[in-house]
Amino acid sequence: MSAIGEAALSGFLELLWGRLLDSALNFVADHKQLRQQLSQWKSILPDIQAVLDDAEEKQIKNRGVKNWLEDLQDLAYDVDDILDDFAYEELSLKLQKTQAQASTSKIQKLIPTCFTGTSFNPKATSFLFKNTMIPKVKDITDRLNSLATRRSNLGLSEILSQAATSKGKQTGLQPTSVMDEAVEYVGRNKEKQEMIELLKGNNSDGVSVLSIVGMGGVGKTTLAQLVYNDTTINEFFDHKAWVCVSDDFDAIKITKEILQSITSEPCAYSDLNLLQVKLKEKLFRKKFLLVLDDIWNDSYNDWTILRSPFGVGTRIIVTTRLQNVSSNVNPVKAFFLDKLPHDDCLSILTQHALNAINFSGHLQLKEVGEKIVIRCNGLPLAAKAIGSLLRTAKDHGEWERIYESEIWDLLEDQCGIIPALRLSYHHLPSHLKRCFAYCSLLPKDYEFEEEEMILLWRAEGFLLQEVKLRTKDLGNQYFQDLVSRSFFQISNKDKSRFVMHDLINDLAQLVAGEICSKLEGDKKQKFSIRTRHSSYVASEYETVKKFEVFDKANSLRTFLPFVFPSYYQEFYITNVMLVDLLPRLGYLRVLSLCGYHITELPDVLEKLKQLHYLKFSYTKIKCLPDSLCTLYHLETLLLKSCYKLQKLPSKMENVVNLQYLDISGASLIERMPVGIGSLINLQRLSDFIIGEGDGHHIRELKYLLSLGGSFRLSGLENVNGEDAVDAKLNEKQGIDRLVLQWGTDFKKDTRNNEIEEWVLNSLCPSKKLEHLVIQNYGGAKFCTWITDSSFKNMLSLELRNCKNCKSVPSIGRLPFLKDLLIGGLDEVNNIGVELFGENQSNAFPSLETLCFEGMPNLEEWDPCEGDEQASKFPNLHKLSIRECPQLLGRLPTILQSLQKLEIRKCRRLIVSISNFPLLLELRVEGCGELVDEGSSTEEVTSLKSVSLSDISMFNISTEWMMLRFANSEDFNIFGWKKLESLSQNGLGLVGHRFIEIYDCPQLVCLETEDERLQLDKIPDVEYLRIRKCRRLKRLPKVLHSFTYLTRMRLERCSNFVSFGESNFPPALKKLEIWGCMNLQYLVDKKENNKSMSSDTCLLEHLDILLCPSLIWLSSRGDICNPLQHLEVSSCSKLGSLFLNAKLPVMLKHLHIWKCPMLECIAQDFHETTYLESIFIWGGQNIKSLPQGLDKLTHLEKIQLDGFSSLVSFEESGLPTTNLKAFSISNCENFKALPDCINNFPFLQKLKVCECSADIPFPEKGFPTNLTSLEISNE
């Protein structure tokens, strides 16, 4: 039984027979037959709901009860659909009545009363609709009565809530013990040692608590066991006790267990006070360690009662999955356990599977074992469970079958993983169970935003409305509750996004059952008739075949493809889905076509009246159908980055339930539709655009009191002050980010400085604002509210392109401002005391980032350093000054917290770095002078990242250069026109990890004399990039000692000939060479060079582009066998790749472009069996393809262009096993596709262009999986 129809069904039914059914009863009050039927529903549903707890418990063993619950679940959805129909019709009638009255009112002003009237008859319309609903309602009544009868026959009865609460305790995890095996446990030594030190540290203040927090299976209990059983801990503490608390937080029981553990005697007391007195006596002046394992209770009161007998000398370790529990126990430190590294997980698995620490003794199992370890995803419990499963499967084939099987399905019965996670699920309230189970639709590893899930939950009706809480706030509460319970984890890549662990995703799918169906890859799947929610990860081409599975899904509520658009790939969906399938999905609540290449939408929305959520973001749609305005239930409309969308429908005011409208990035929309102010439920509106002549429309904002989040108000050049005042922007308390934007054309006749000052002054936002952007403002001065210190929440301020302003506002008064950007203020020529505010002794106390950019007339920045009593920029971490060509003088010396400094295109500025003791990153490009006037070498700290470019004068001694720059991790020098060698400025290669040298035309030598002599010092360089150094002919000999160098790139070094005398660095894996006009070869036998030797070379990736003198890659027979990717492009003299006509045996990708002299790729492919892609363009002199093409079983893509000799594939053949994309173009003699092409089971894309005039279709047809076919002569 799925979770959505199990315990969570209780909340669903409560909503149905509560508010929703009451509303429907009011609507049908004048229809006797419907009123009687719905009244029966209201009497039967509560009786059914009352036995759900009993049914949930019995359905595990009783198939009849399980079937009853599934039928009830289906019925509940159908009831909800019908109630939605009633609600829609009621709303439709109200809107029609309102519009008819408004129309009549206008007519009555023009026509005598005796002639007025309207054809709209709401009673007649309502009666007709209600009659059509009678059969549906009677069917529901019959099914309800049947379920009520079956309920009695099954013996289901109401049970007390207390029993329901305790029903699951017997099915949970086994109690933990300090004796549980922990010897195999690895990966937490750091946490273990830190915990031991904290436990043994002095603490005279009282009880010390450490908490271990993490998801189920991550190793919380085992870490506690390791600490608890440590020898030094045993010696340090007088007494220890371990209590497995689980979901039964009983203070009497826990205290009794602690007392019995200390005394090793049974305890007969049952009074909590007496127990605590006895315990306190036993612990007097004793050092005591207590572990409370697996706490779920987050009641602070219960915790304070339990800990009351403990005093100085007591240390407590708490393990929990809930962050709330951890917070309540007020730990000295909370240890949040993340996933284990791969090697540690591998060790756990191999210990359980092979009784070994790795696969060294079982090499035949290593590859598949590594893949299984990856699936464990860092969970030690998963590794242990699967390792136990593999213990009896020593044969490689069995391991492969286990890896390829639905391994997680076995865990519930055999390995204990799913029960461990289901315990977390078991403790969820019913409303969270529905929300969590719905997340089974998410692809594995998908990173999602909090708001994204809240909008979906709201659309599905999962956010049960509560008094005084907006649905967004309620959704936030639900979401954070799931985060605190470790169902969602913060993404490592983006801290604003979240992710579900794979096992958690599996759990969601398990509990959702057939209600949620996720199409995965090319697997053949069927939707159950019970399926209501569906999702899939989009492919490039979605054909009719994809959607055959939806044929019987007429009750579907969710159509949610996950499309990940990119600049280089587009996604297409068959028109059959849009025209034929969509109209049949009349009960959809959620519809997303995000990311598809859709330019228009058929007018099918009128068939989807129950839509609550509609997403067209990142499509190429140009206009929306007018029927969108009949979606009266629509709450969310997402049109983000629809850059071809020209306007919104004119009757948007009819979408009265709309709460979220995102049109950000829809840059062609010039104005908002009239009546947008009628949408008083709007909580989020990304943009409000005021068109020319529509300035008064800004007044509609005054009705949108619930607006929140980020809001952009553009087209303000079309507004006057009176209209701006009436927008009442200051009443929008929920807006936290505001963008006020005028047009970019300052010369337009309608622009008026004084009016724009009035408008800005009238648009004062709420004091709760956190982020403000003012852009293209045309006034001569800023208004005073910007500098108001009462904006205590203001964190960032951007003043962009305000070209007429003559001075900057006094923003130093904003107490918590962290980020400030001032750019494009053309009329400002000095910045001084006005920026801080007069008599402002503590200016910018919180500012961390300051940026001046694009200010062509700024000559002076006076930081007012004369007042020694004043504190300015005490926390500034980053300073950026860009494109201020007239700025004179030096940088301030008061920036003692500065860590990052960027100066770009400030020709007259002197940059001194001596006064910034914490400086870590330095970027200087195009400045007048760089100086370092430090007085003591002891105070010099080496920078971590340095980029120096186009600096007119260096006034830094060689000694200081070495001290400042010698050990920076990133070291970039650009545009040093006179630099001949690094040593002349005290620089070198040895101390850096990432080096880039660009546009140094006189550079001849890289290494210094010291580096030649000190080859015993191992360099740290990992990446070396050299660009546009035209005198550089060869790389230094010292390069062979760079044992960490893995990537190297050479660009536009016109005199570079070859690597010559120097070997490739021993660890080099990627080499890219672009635009080296004189490069003839990489290595040459005359140099006795072993760089490309198959024995010593580790190179995996080689790119050579635009090297017209290149003759060959290697003149010798041996090849760099580890090479996996080879790309050669625009090398006009290249005659052959390797003289022995062989390719590296590990090669996977062979790409050759525009090499007209190339005659031979290789003799054959017999030894290159790992090839996955072959792209060859411009192969007019290649006489034939190598033999053995048909033997490349891993080959997935072939692109051939310009092969004049290619007639057919009769000789070389084609691989059929995995080929997915096959393209032939500009092959003038190509005559026919292979007859067997219909037998290519995975071929999806086939293209034949500009070949023979009459290429016939293959007699046996095309492959059935083909999604893209192009055959043309153009």
Quick: pLDDT tens for 682-708: 999 999 999 999 999 999 999 999 999
**What angle do helix axes 63-108 and 7-15 make, rounded to 10 degrees?**
30
The three state secondary structure string of 493-504 is CCCCEEECCHHH
Share of the chain above pLDDT 70, in %: 84
Quick one: which H or E segment has residue 1271? Answer: strand 1268-1272
Q: Please give the pLDDT value at position 163.
A: 34
Q: Which of 116-120, 756-760, 810-814, 1082-1086 tops mean pLDDT? A: 756-760
Q: Please give the pLDDT value at position 58.
A: 75
Could you tell me the pLDDT band of residue 465, with boundaries at 50, 70 and 90?
low
Q: Please give the pLDDT value at position 1032.
A: 86
- Total residue count of the chain as it appears in this document: 1274
pLDDT(1189) > 80: yes
The amino acid occupying position 821 is L
Model confidence over 915-929: pLDDT tens digits? 788 888 999 998 888
pLDDT(106) > 70: no
| The two three-digit tokens of residue 412, written as one number | 């519930």
pLDDT average, residue stretch 210-235: 88
Could you tell me the pLDDT band of residue 1117, with boundaries at 50, 70 and 90?
low
Return the minimum-mean-pLDDT range out of 119-128, 240-249, 413-422, 664-673.
Answer: 413-422
User: Which has more confidence, 52 or 909?
Assistant: 909
Q: Please give the pLDDT value at position 866.
A: 66
Could you tell me the pLDDT band of residue 1162, with boundaries at 50, 70 and 90?
confident
pLDDT(1154) > 80: yes
Q: Which of 52-66, 116-130, 146-160, 278-292 tops mean pLDDT? A: 278-292
Return the minimum-mean-pLDDT range out of 277-286, 343-352, 953-962.
Answer: 953-962
Could you tell me the pLDDT band of residue 3, with boundaries at 50, 70 and 90?
very low
Q: Among the residues of 379-528, which ranges form H helices?
A: 380-390, 396-404, 407-410, 417-426, 430-438, 450-460, 471-484, 502-512
**What angle do helix axes 430-438 and 471-484 make, rounded to 10 degrees?**
80
The three state secondary structure string of 92-121 is HHHHHHHHHHHHHHHHHCCCCHHHCCCCCC
Q: Please give the pLDDT value at position 1128.
A: 93
Domain borders along the chain are: 3-166, 171-336, 342-419, 428-516
Model confidence over 818-847: pLDDT tens digits? 999 999 999 999 998 888 877 667 788 899
Average pLDDT, the chain: 83
pLDDT average, residue stretch 448-465: 91
pLDDT average, residue stretch 1101-1117: 83
Q: Please give the pLDDT value at position 209.
A: 92
Q: Please give the pLDDT value at position 831.
A: 92
User: Which has more confidence, 1157 or 963?
Assistant: 1157
The string of DSSP codes covering 1182-1220 is: ---PPBTGGG-TT--EEEEES-TT---STTT----SS--
List of E strands, 1081-1132: 1101-1105, 1125-1129
User: Which has more confidence, 154 or 1008?
Assistant: 154
Could you tell me the pLDDT band of residue 1015, with boundaries at 50, 70 and 90?
very low
pLDDT(939) > 70: no
pLDDT average, residue stretch 1229-1252: 84
Model confidence over 710-742: pLDDT tens digits? 999 999 999 999 999 999 999 999 999 999 999
Could you tell me the pLDDT band of residue 286, with boundaries at 50, 70 and 90?
confident
pLDDT average, residue stretch 634-659: 95
Radius of gyration of the chain (CA): 36
Model confidence over 765-810: pLDDT tens digits? 999 999 999 999 999 999 999 988 889 999 999 999 999 999 999 9
CA dihedral 33, 39, 40, 41 (to 10 degrees): 110
Q: Please give the pLDDT value at position 4.
A: 45
CB pairs under 8 A, 24+ apart, for 594-599? 594/561, 594/563, 594/618, 594/619, 594/638, 595/538, 595/561, 595/563, 595/564, 595/565, 595/571, 595/619, 596/538, 596/542, 596/561, 596/563, 596/571, 596/572, 597/570, 597/571, 597/572, 597/573, 598/573, 599/644
Q: Please give the pLDDT value at position 290.
A: 94
* CA pair distance 252, 271, nearest whole angstrom: 7
pLDDT average, residue stretch 1230-1248: 84
Q: Please give the pLDDT value at position 105.
A: 53
pLDDT(995) > 70: yes
Query: What CATH code is assigned to 171-336?
Result: 3.40.50.300
Q: Which of 107-111, 567-571, 1010-1014, 1031-1035 tops mean pLDDT? A: 1031-1035
pLDDT(1001) > 80: yes
Return the minimum-mean-pLDDT range out of 392-401, 1217-1226, 1228-1237.
Answer: 392-401
CA dihedral 137, 139, 142, 144 (to 10 degrees): -70
The string of DSSP codes covering 550-569 is: GTT-TT--EEEEE---BTTB
pLDDT(1213) > 80: no
Q: Please give the pLDDT value at position 15.
A: 66
For domain 428-516, give the fold. Answer: Arc Repressor Mutant, subunit A (1.10.10)
